[in-house]
Amino acid sequence: MRIPMIAANWKMNTTVSEAKKLVTEIHQELSDIKNIDKVICPPFISLATVYELTKEGSIKLGAQNVYFEEKGAYTGEISPLMLTDFCKYVIIGHSERRQYFNETREIINKKIRTSLSFKLMPILCVGESLEENEAGNTEKIVAGQLKSALAGIDYPNGLILAYEPIWAIGTGKSATGEQANKTIGFLRRNINELYNETAAQNVRILYGGSVTDTNTTEFISQPEIDGALVGGASLKAKQFISIVKQAREIKNQTSS
């Protein structure tokens, strides 16, 4: 049984005091909720504060990015070693990083390797653009992204994937539950081909892209979808709390 997961990607939003306020509300409502993993990925500058406010409960933290060296003369970067004090997870390969910060497949592969070596669990994002989608190339694109990100990695124990069609991120235009389920099922089969059936059955694959409290059911009720990576809606405590509670309800029903 895969434990469902809802992860909040706050992106470049919230000052430290805003982060404090937001996480306090979320923590009050969600820290005792079981049978679902809740992950918050605040900006780096708020990690320590958010960690202090959540360490007594079941909410875990993730970083939104990481560098692939342990330490040294890399001005402005944050290493996996530094993150391990606060985080269990790290988002890698988000389309915004590929697009605005020129992260190549090679860089993403290095980040995955180093993170795994520090037992920091990557949430690896893959997804196609609108043009690629319309040309019918979704599977080819995500398979290529997956293969290159995992190149040379023996068995990515604990790896989490997020299928995020680029055209659905922050646009209010989500994929349908069925579309997302199909691509996520395809990704799972790819993990089987790259590794084995156990790895495929164990890997959690999230959907991301304009998930809100009104469309959570559509995605989470799909058998291949293990949870969601939530951007915009995770900045509103009530919405995020509702998404987590709905997801837990749905997955508990389907597993009992």
Instruction: Tell me which residues touch ligand PGA (CB under 6 A).
Output: 9, 164, 169-170, 208-211, 229-233
Residue 41 beta carbon to ligand PGA: minimum distance, rounded to whole angstroms: 9
- Torsion (CA) 94, 118, 3, 248 in degrees, nearest 10: -60
Q: Which is nearer to ligand PGA, 195 or 219 (CB)?
A: 219
Residues designated catalytic? 94, 164
Nearest 5°: the CA angle 140, 7, 146 is: 20
By C-alpha distance, which of 178, 143, 172, 161 is closest to 226? 161
Q: In this structure, what token pair is assigned to residue 84?
A: 């391990």
CA pair distance 19, 97, nearest whole angstrom: 22
Residue 230 beta carbon to ligand PGA: minimum distance, rounded to whole angstroms: 5
Q: Which is nearer to ligand PGA, 47 or 166 (CB)?
A: 166
CA distances from 76 to 65, 86, 102, 156, 203 (A): 12, 18, 16, 28, 32
The DSSP symbol for 176 reads P
Q: Which is nearer to ligand PGA, 62 or 195 (CB)?
A: 62
Residue 209 beta carbon to ligand PGA: minimum distance, rounded to whole angstroms: 5
Residue 232 beta carbon to ligand PGA: minimum distance, rounded to whole angstroms: 4
Count other C-beta atoms under 10 Å from residue 204's C-beta.
19
Contact 80, 61 (CB under 8 A): no
